[in-house]
Chains A and B, each alone.
Chain A
Amino acid sequence: MSPRILPFIMVLAAMAMVPLVSTSPFYVNLTSQVAIAAIGALGLNVLVGHAGLNSLGFAVFPGLTAYLVAWLSTVGGFDPVPAALLAIGGTLAASMLFALVALRTTGLGFVMITMALCQIVWGAAYRWTSVTGGDNGLSGVPRPGGAVLPLERPEWFLWLCLCVLALALLQLGRFFDSPLGVALRGTRDQPRRMSAVGYDVWRIRFVAWMLAAGWGAAAGLLYAWYHQFVSPHMMAVTASAEVLLMVVAGGAGTLAGPLIGAALVVLLKNLASIWIDRWMMLLGVTFVVIVLLMPDGIVPGLGRLTAWLRRFRPAPAPALVPRERTDG
């Protein structure tokens, strides 16, 4: 186990040390953005990488939580922490209802229905102006904390994000190796056999859906606290597509993939906003390039590369290439 978790500890530690190295809040905030995006991408990876369910509406989970916590802690008058708990609870409850609709299909049907479900909530946020503020969104979302935990300061907020990210990596890392994690990939590859040997395929997928919803909600909460502002754009099709790109670019079905993908997309997006202001175009081109050149993502791609390099050295055993299905 330890050789596997060591790289993750090193990466998290390096991210945590950014505030000690850089005095500029820009890099600290950028690191927070990567951490938040990675938590969301890890959640989506449960569906895309392990359940074989390609969701194009993942942004609904962080979006719902962000809107709920924003509304509760501004209009609703709740303190940040109770508002957060209620928001996550509300998102999980809504996610159960969504599961009843979305999990009736798989394959392309699932793609379209998850997109439609996200669109419903986007529509409510965008059009139900009296409650959600419409296109202007809700601003002035307070961060929790105080003297002991000054979360209004960028470095402390980063450390909170990294704690949640570490928790997500730990929980999902254990889950993917657990009996249910193995069974989940079983329902991805051979649902018929799974059901024939006694598994409840629907319930296994439901657990995966709720796990994705839970980590999506965590990401949404941190997102709302980070920006202290929510708007319908965080539930637009592009937002869901960005998370999907993180998962696929990094490597669906791997634990490190979403982390690498999140860093890639967040950095790309920030660079684009500084220099070229054509994020949509860049996002589109990245999709096309990834699909055509690196369909399995960076992590399996690197795995294949090292295996290929090893062939030029006298190796005692052929390297096993970790390869996960990315198509549905």
Chain B
Amino acid sequence: MAFWISQSLNALALGGLLFMLASGFSLIFGLMRVANLAHGALFMLGAYLGLAVVKAGFGFWVAAASAAVAVGLFGGVLERTLLRRLAGRTLPQVLLTLGLAFIIADACLMLWGGDPMRLPPPPELSGAVRIGDAVFPRYRLFVIGASAAVALGLWLLVERTRAGAMIRAAVDDVGMARAIGVSASTLFTAVFCLGTALAGLGGVIGGPILSVYPTLDQDMLPLALLVVILGGAGSLIGAFVGAYAIGFIYTFGQVLVPDLAYVILFLPMIAVLSVAPQGLFGRRLG
């Protein structure tokens, strides 16, 4: 029983991290029809930046906030200066974001070296709590709560605010949204900033669990893609369901069939695609 409880909590923590990563990817995809393949690299960049801030003597919370802001601003600059020139052209966008991912990843390797590093959790969240028979790290409980709070916040933003209404309108039909006075240009940059900031924040929050290492981006990007393929691009609910589903499958897969856990991870994708090519909650990807 203790095994199931603690693994389920692990799965919830991983699912929460994946949601922070994939929700931004999905929002950007839904709004701008851009698959931001640099998203995993930005997640890793966030983790490294957070680590640097912690090492400089500031606390974990400062690190999380500053990494999110820095990565978000960086994302905004990328959108304004580079991605914008390629609007509507799939292959160049794919190549550009992929190229940026490689540049960011290699720059991180250059700056911070190849050894995995541990990002320590804040002191007030270290230690463990007892849940029934299971002993569970306090920090992971925080991750579960924090990611749920981010999910709730995003949902409120998209469903309950004026900015969210604009995003929804533009996801449905950019031309129509422009006609009713939404500034697509500002909205695109804002959503790109938001999405990449979430990736940066996810990197710091995930740091103490995943640790920080050079191929973190290559491990995270496929998971984010999986979540989005599964849940459907552009759908917040889809990212939510997809993220926690992948969190559970991966966590239990790794414990029960470690050799093939990674392969098993992709089975639900294949199952979903054969029934609904657009994902569980998505529109058509094409």
The answer to whether any beta carbons of A and B sit under 8 Å apart in the complex is: yes
Q: Give residues in A with beta carbon < 8 Å to B.
A: 48, 54, 56, 100-101, 104-113, 115-117, 119-120, 123-124, 126-130, 236-238, 241, 244-245, 248, 252, 278, 280-281, 283-288, 290-292, 295, 326-328
Q: B61 at the A/B interface (Cβ < 8 Å)? A: no
Q: How far is the CA of A244 from the CA of B86 in the complex (A)?
A: 18
Please state if A56 and B263 are interface contacts (CB–CB under 8 Å): no
Please state if B277 and A109 are interface contacts (CB–CB under 8 Å): yes
Please state if A290 and B285 are interface contacts (CB–CB under 8 Å): no
Q: B98 at the A/B interface (Cβ < 8 Å)? A: yes
Output the nearest chain B residue to A115 by Cβ-Cβ distance.
Answer: B225
Please state if A327 and B89 are interface contacts (CB–CB under 8 Å): yes
Chain A residue numbers with a CB within 8 Å of B29 are 108
Q: How far is the CA of A287 from the CA of B95 in the complex (A)?
A: 6
Which of these, B85, B102, B277, B278, contacts A287 with CB under 8 Å? B102
Q: How far is the CA of A123 from the CA of B250 in the complex (A)?
A: 12
30 contacts between A and B (CB under 8 A): A48-B91, A104-B274, A105-B273, A105-B277, A109-B233, A112-B229, A112-B285, A116-B226, A120-B266, A124-B260, A124-B262, A127-B258, A129-B259, A130-B259, A237-B218, A237-B221, A248-B95, A278-B110, A281-B103, A283-B102, A284-B101, A284-B106, A288-B82, A290-B95, A291-B92, A292-B85, A327-B88, A327-B89, A327-B91, A328-B91
Q: B265 at the A/B interface (Cβ < 8 Å)? A: yes
Chain A residue numbers with a CB within 8 Å of B82 are 288, 292
Please state if A244 and B95 are interface contacts (CB–CB under 8 Å): yes
Q: How far is the CA of A248 from the CA of B86 in the complex (A)?
A: 15
Chain A residue numbers with a CB within 8 Å of B285 are 105-110, 112
Q: Give residues in B with beta carbon < 8 Å to A.
A: 29, 33, 35, 37, 82, 85-86, 88-92, 94-96, 98-107, 109-110, 218, 221-222, 225-226, 228-229, 233, 258-263, 265-266, 269-270, 273-274, 277-278, 284-286
A116 in contact with B277 given A124-B263, A288-B82 (CB within 8 Å): no
Output the nearest chain A residue to B259 by Cβ-Cβ distance.
Answer: A128
Which of these, B90, B102, B105, contacts A328 with CB under 8 Å? B90
Q: How far is the CA of A119 from the CA of B222 in the complex (A)?
A: 7
Output the nearest chain A residue to B104 by Cβ-Cβ distance.
Answer: A284
Which of these, B90, B261, B270, contacts A127 with CB under 8 Å? B261
Task: Kindly provide the distance from the CB of A291 to the nearest chain B CB, expressed in whole angstroms.
Answer: 5
Chain B residue numbers with a CB within 8 Å of A252 are 91
Please state if B94 and A56 are interface contacts (CB–CB under 8 Å): yes
Main secondary structure of the interface of B (DSSP, over half): helix
Please state if A127 and B99 are interface contacts (CB–CB under 8 Å): no
Chain A residue numbers with a CB within 8 Å of B86 are 291
Which of these, B96, B269, B286, contacts A116 with CB under 8 Å? B269
Please state if A127 and B262 are interface contacts (CB–CB under 8 Å): yes
Q: How far is the CA of A248 from the CA of B226 in the complex (A)?
A: 26
Task: Kindly provide the distance from the CB of A245 to the nearest chain B CB, expressed in whole angstroms.
Answer: 8
A284 in contact with B110 given A109-B285, A123-B265 (CB within 8 Å): no
Please state if A291 and B266 are interface contacts (CB–CB under 8 Å): no
Please state if A100 and B274 are interface contacts (CB–CB under 8 Å): yes
Chain B residue numbers with a CB within 8 Å of A54 are 90-91, 94
Q: How far is the CA of A107 from the CA of B104 in the complex (A)?
A: 25
Please state if A108 and B35 are interface contacts (CB–CB under 8 Å): yes
A-B pairs with the 5 shortest C-beta distances? A109-B285, A287-B99, A123-B262, A284-B102, A284-B103
Please state if A115 and B222 are interface contacts (CB–CB under 8 Å): yes
Please state if B102 and A281 are interface contacts (CB–CB under 8 Å): yes
A113 in contact with B263 given A237-B221, A244-B95 (CB within 8 Å): no
Please state if A288 and B94 are interface contacts (CB–CB under 8 Å): no
Which of these, A128, A287, A292, contacts B98 with CB under 8 Å? A287
